[in-house]
């Protein structure tokens, strides 16, 4: 049997990916020595949950968990990013993606799943989760760029206000959340969407994935298009009977939370894992944060950010 194995670009996890070609058919070999449970076992279970709900995700082809690897189906090489980046009119393509997201948000999960003898539970977002993620901003991003003892005090002040802001979220954590729903994690194969990088799925706020998609640091969408997309989600989702400002409140809060996390993660990828590719996204991440801080619900947080952080200086540093 003739076969070919080629390493392909990975993601921000500890996994490595290889495209296996045999008899003119392809599959993907996924290996993970670190965080093996999440990156292989949980990943397989979440993919199965999605497929069982008619959402295309990689299917398990063969299981080699004991040897730190699994084989999954190949969703192709073209991402939504590749599809959309040069398109002038992006609205209809994004509408299709939001319809897919709404379908994902209808998924009902069981209390417990199994992978081999392992028990897997899809947990709920908590206030602690939100802080744990945004703390990455203080612990990685600020410590790297400010390099002084003020970080501890700044973290204490801003974290206290972030706690007040997170308590202003309107919606309960009752929705299936991919948790990294952006244009590079959506594949297109034969005009069919496929979802990858699913291992961090959780039950959370319905606006979390919406903010991940619309405020994606990988692509700069106009304010007009972003507004149209949020309105389209509003009119077609289970939240259609709510006032748009109720959605906008949670969208803005979660966008700030997520993008603070992203600043921390991308600096961690650079410092810990030597992946400098992600640094190019830092300036636009700040732009998104500043845009969402205009929400009156975030007025005090905005004041504290500008009082204690040299944002203009940080943006200049990140561009260099």
- pLDDT tens sequence across 53-104: 999 999 999 999 999 999 999 999 999 999 999 899 999 999 999 999 999 9
Same domain, 163 and 308: yes
> What residue numbers bound the domain in which 186 lies?
80-319
For residues 19 and 144, state if they share a domain.
no
Based on the fold, state whether residues 193 and 253 are members of the same structural domain: yes
- Give the pLDDT score at 10: 66
Q: How far apart are CA 126 and CA 123, in angstroms?
A: 9
- The ranges of the chain with pLDDT < 70 are 1, 10-12, 317, 320
309 and 211 housed in the same domain: yes
Angle made by CA atoms 270, 271, 273, in degrees to the nearest 5: 65
The last residue of a domain, from among 73, 98, 121: 73
What pTM was estimated for this model as a whole? Answer: 0.94
Judge if 46 and 177 occupy the same domain: no
282-292 vs 311-319: helix axis angle to the nearest 10? 150
pLDDT for the residue numbered 150:
83
Q: Can you give the pLDDT at residue 320?
A: 58
Domain boundary among 22, 56, 73: 73
Task: Please tell me whether residues 176 and 239 are part of one structural domain.
Answer: yes
In a shared domain, residues 142 and 217: yes
User: Last residue of a domain, which of 11, 44, 73?
Assistant: 73
Instruction: Please tell me the predicted confidence (pLDDT) of residue 26.
Output: 94
Structure tokens at 103: 């379908």
Indicate whether 156 and 273 sit together in one domain: yes
Please tell me the predicted confidence (pLDDT) of residue 203: 97
Q: Are residues 67 and 90 in the same domain?
A: no
Number of domains the chain contains: 2
Q: Is 169 found in the same domain as 23? A: no
pLDDT at site 178 = 98
Same domain for 174 and 228? yes
- The CATH number that applies at residue 134 is 3.90.1200.10
Crossing angle, helix 91-105 and helix 207-214, to 10 degrees? 160
| pLDDT of amino acid 86 | 87
Are residue 261 and residue 276 in the same domain, yes or no? Answer: yes
Q: What is the CATH number of the domain that holds 47?
A: 3.30.200
């Amino acid at each position: 049997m003739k076969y070919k194995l080629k390493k392909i670009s990975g993601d921000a996890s500890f996994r490595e990916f290889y495209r296996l070609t045999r008899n003119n058919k392809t599959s993907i070999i996924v290996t993970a020595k670190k965080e093996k449970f999440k990156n292989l076992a949980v990943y397989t279970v979440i993919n199965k949950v999605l497929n069982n709900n008619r959402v295309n995700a990689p299917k398990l082809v063969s299981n080699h968990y004991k040897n730190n690897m699994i084989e999954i189906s190949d969703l192709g090489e073209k991402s939504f990013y590749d599809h959309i980046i040069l398109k002038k009119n992006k609205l209809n393509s994004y509408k299709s993606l939001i319809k897919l997201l709404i379908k994902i948000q209808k998924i009902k999960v069981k209390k417990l799943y199994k992978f081999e003898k392992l028990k897997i539970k899809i947990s709920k977002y908590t206030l602690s989760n939100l802080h744990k993620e945004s703390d990455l901003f203080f612990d990685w991003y600020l410590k790297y760029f400010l390099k002084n003892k003020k970080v501890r005090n700044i973290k204490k002040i801003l974290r206290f206000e972030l706690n007040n802001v997170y308590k202003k979220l309107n919606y309960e954590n009752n929705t299936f959340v991919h948790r990294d729903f952006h244009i590079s994690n959506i594949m297109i194969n034969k005009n069919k969407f496929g979802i990858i990088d699913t291992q961090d799925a959780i039950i959370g706020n319905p606006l979390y994935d919406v903010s991940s998609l619309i405020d994606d640091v990988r692509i700069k969408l106009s304010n007009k298009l972003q507004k149209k997309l949020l309105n389209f989600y509003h009119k077609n989702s289970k939240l259609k009977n709510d006032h748009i400002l109720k959605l906008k409140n949670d969208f803005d809060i979660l966008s700030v939370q997520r993008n603070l996390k992203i600043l921390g993660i991308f600096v961690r990828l650079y410092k810990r894992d030597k992946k400098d590719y992600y640094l190019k996204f830092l300036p636009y991440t700040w732009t998104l944060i500043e845009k969402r801080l205009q929400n009156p619900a975030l007025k005090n947080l905005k004041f504290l950010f500008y009082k204690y952080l040299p944002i203009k200086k940080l943006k200049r540093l990140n561009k260099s």
